[in-house]
Structure 1
Amino acid sequence: MQEIELKFLVPESRLKGLMRQAKVKSSQVTQLAAHYYDTPDQQLAQAGIGLRIRKENDTWVQTIKAAGDGIAARLEHNAVLDNEQVQTMLDDNELMPDLTIYEDTSVAPTLADFKLKKLQKALTRLYVTDVQRTTRLLTETNDDDINSCIEVAYDQGEIIHGTDKTQQKTIQEIEFELVSGDIDFLFMTAKTWCKRYKLCLSTITKAENGGLLINEQDHSPAVDADLSQLQVDKDSSAPAFIRSVVHNCLLQILPNSSAIIAGSTDHEHILQLRVGIDRLHAALKAFADFSDEINPEWLSILEQTANLLGTYYQLAYIGSHIEPELQALGAPAVDWTTDIEDIKITPINTLQANDFQITLLELIAFTMSDPSIEPHTDQLACDKLAKILTKQYKKCIKTSKKIEAFSRLDDNDDIDEDVIDDSQSEDKLCNHLKELRYFSEFSIPLLSKKKSKKKTRRWLKRLAKAQSALAQRNNDSKYHAFYALKSATDTNALYGAGWFAAMLTDDPTYIEARLAKFRDSATFW
């Protein structure tokens, strides 16, 4: 069976109001005591699998969960256990799951990579949860007489270390699960509650939280782009292609966003979230006519969110990385603490913004909608991609040549205003190259031929090197601006300002060489 659910963290300021909606006359309160199992090295968790035995009031249920067909979908199998047998095992401290019950079930493929007998022997109880769940049902009958039902479940309790009960982690979350009917009702309801109670999406499961507890970690590592999970091929329609691309971007965005919402201030979470949003923004802009379901407002919200994250990230990165490096070289210390604290919009409240959370919900719903009912369903994505790539490639070449032309001018040369305007903004070229890189990575599975894989990899590598070189120069320019501004109130910052000024006057042949290699490489499409 596949469950489709959305999980949110609940802000303390909205908890009372939310509880009034959750605890109505028809609601039910259930005490859930669950035991979670894995190997000592957490092989199941690494495969995205959760395995538990849970007491639900008076019934014991064994459950396994794994990734489903969509971001909000999870494969789930439940088996009711014999209460007397469970109690006997509990009394003997030998309660263990039985993996043989999954033979010939829908979850069997999920365990195909494991030797079940060996896995069974290696299982151990890692942690337990003690949760009070308050549930209520919401129903609707639409114009087509389709009855839909959602279960709203508010969970509050603790995750407890399996061998050290003093180590605990608090749980406070609300889930919306589609019981039956139309998935649109699930997203419509979630959006309504999200707006009203300022809820924030979270992909962090109880199993993941339990793993963090036993590993003594506050948050999971940052997630970067994984193009191996991009499910496209040469026969992908335009609507199916853009849905798969958005899905791939969300696989990077949602875990990093969830970690920040849960309290992480790790620079890598912020960086990878920003990269994921940039990839998504580029895709929605380039492939806008691949689907009639794309909301133009998504672009402006994503761009605003990325800009706010970028401003915070740059200043925080100076304090945590650049400053120690400069001090190691003999620079006097510069304290950036006040500057960082003075930023009014931090990553967590950037992500808590209602418009961003609603946009995430709408994007998830988009990826789970049916592409076959769209007008463009007969249009193959590969028929459009080459034209998009060529247009972006020409932008890069044109801007690159203007910068090169400006760099060759002498002081006495007549200056073309068009050349000056374009050449002074190297970050314009950097953005063009970055977007071309993203477009190419999305398109390679459809356009690259088997015989030219080596050529494709070489071209993409040269593109990435050119973009990275320009990005480093742009970053140095921004760091220089920060130190120059800071030096007005702290003379110690003059060292940093001078350092980055020197970096910006370095011989530009390194960048020029990489741009030249990129221009000289034949495209793969």
Structure 2
Amino acid sequence: MEIELKLLIAAEDVLAFCALPLLQQHAVGAATSQDLFSTYFDTPTLHLKQHRSALRVRKAGALWIQTYKGGGSVAAGLHQRHEWECEVAGPRIELDKLLPLVDNPAARAALELPGLAAQLKAVFATSFRRTAWQLRLPQGTEVELALDQGVVEADGRTLPICEIELELKSGQTDELLAFSQALRQAIALAPSNVSKAQRGFALRFPGKDSSL
């Protein structure tokens, strides 16, 4: 289960955010930066989206990683979703590698649609630079804080990405939420219930329901 809090930040506030003493106080080591390129896949009938799931392949450095997310809940910017991922050889989905990992019956059923692999097509893409800090909070909770800046792309149209993700690696959700409140007192941040996948579907199919 992936647990993360999404916060929107204005582009003009990014430099001030990166210089926050609160970040330096809890950071374990220096921040790292990486360019990430992802392609999201679904069938022409949006079979996976109808099952509240998202499937992507992401290029991170020299690695290609496929990720499947499904189910869970979101409230006040806190996203809790089942997530499975593994390396693949290139920019294509490899269901035979993914299926053995998916241990949630409902999520697995969506992937077991007969002929699914042949129906999968690229629907939209994201391209962004991620700057990440590993944090250790006072009670021992470990969090990865990621600042993502880039775009969602679909059918020649783009939407900007400028957001912060606080992902719980170990410890207590309550401490993660308390830390996010401290951040919001230091700089203007707004909780977001909308994932990158939802933005992509909204851009690709304007006017249609983009919920997952």
Assess same fold via TM > 0.5.
yes
Instruction: Note if 1:14 corresponds to 2:13.
Output: yes
The verdict on how the C-alpha distance between 1:5 and 1:216 changes in structure 2, with shifts beyond 3 A counting, is same
1:107-186 equivalences under 5 Å are 107-113=104-110, 115-142=112-139, 147-161=140-154, 164=155, 166-186=156-176
Amino acid of the residue matched to residue 122 of structure 1? Q
The verdict on how the C-alpha distance between 1:70 and 1:204 changes in structure 2, with shifts beyond 3 A counting, is closer
- Name the TM-score, length of structure 1 as normaliser: 0.36
The verdict on how the C-alpha distance between 1:159 and 1:70 changes in structure 2, with shifts beyond 3 A counting, is closer
The whole-number CA distance in structure 2 between the counterparts of 1:10 and 1:125 is 28
Amino acid of the residue matched to residue 199 of structure 1? L
- Equivalent position SS for 1:213: helix
Q: CA deviation at 1:109?
A: 3.1
Q: CA deviation at 1:74?
A: 1.1
RMSD value over aligned CA atoms? Answer: 2.5
- Equivalent position SS for 1:103: helix
The whole-number CA distance in structure 1 between the counterparts of 2:57 and 2:179 is 30
Structure 2 unaligned blocks of 5 or more: none
Contact 1:9 / 1:172 at 8 angstroms: preserved in 2? yes
> Equivalent residue for 1:37?
41
Contact 1:102 / 1:108 at 8 angstroms: preserved in 2? no
Q: CA deviation at 1:46?
A: 2.3
Amino acid of the residue matched to residue 43 of structure 2? T
May I ask how many residue pairs the two structures share in their alignment? 203
Quick one: higher RCO (CA 8 Å, sep 6+), 1 or 2? 2
- Name the TM-score, length of structure 2 as normaliser: 0.85
Instruction: Note if 1:79 corresponds to 2:72.
Output: no
Q: Deviations over 1:85-123 (max 9, x none)?
A: x2xxxxxxxx43122222363245313145433222211
> Equivalent residue for 1:98?
94
Contact 2:8 / 2:163 at 8 angstroms: preserved in 1? yes
The whole-number CA distance in structure 2 between the counterparts of 1:132 and 1:113 is 31
Contact 2:144 / 2:166 at 8 angstroms: preserved in 1? yes
Could you say which structure has the larger radius of gyration?
1
The verdict on how the C-alpha distance between 1:32 and 1:59 changes in structure 2, with shifts beyond 3 A counting, is same
> Equivalent residue for 2:65?
61
Structure 1 unaligned blocks of 5 or more: 87-94, 224-254, 256-525
Q: CA deviation at 1:136?
A: 0.2
Where in structure 1 do 4 or more consecutive aligned residues deviate above 4 Å?
22-25
1:307-318 equivalences under 5 Å are none
The whole-number CA distance in structure 2 between the counterparts of 1:64 and 1:48 is 11
- Equivalent position SS for 2:19: helix
Instruction: Note if 1:212 corresponds to 2:202.
Output: yes
Q: CA deviation at 1:27?
A: 0.1
1:487-498 equivalences under 5 Å are none
Structure number with higher helix proportion = 1
Amino acid of the residue matched to residue 60 of structure 2? E
The match for 2:183 among 190, 193, 197 is 193
The share of aligned pairs that are identical, in percent, is 27
The whole-number CA distance in structure 2 between the counterparts of 1:178 and 1:20 is 22
The whole-number CA distance in structure 1 between the counterparts of 2:35 and 2:136 is 24
Structure number with higher strand proportion = 2
Q: CA deviation at 1:65?
A: 0.7
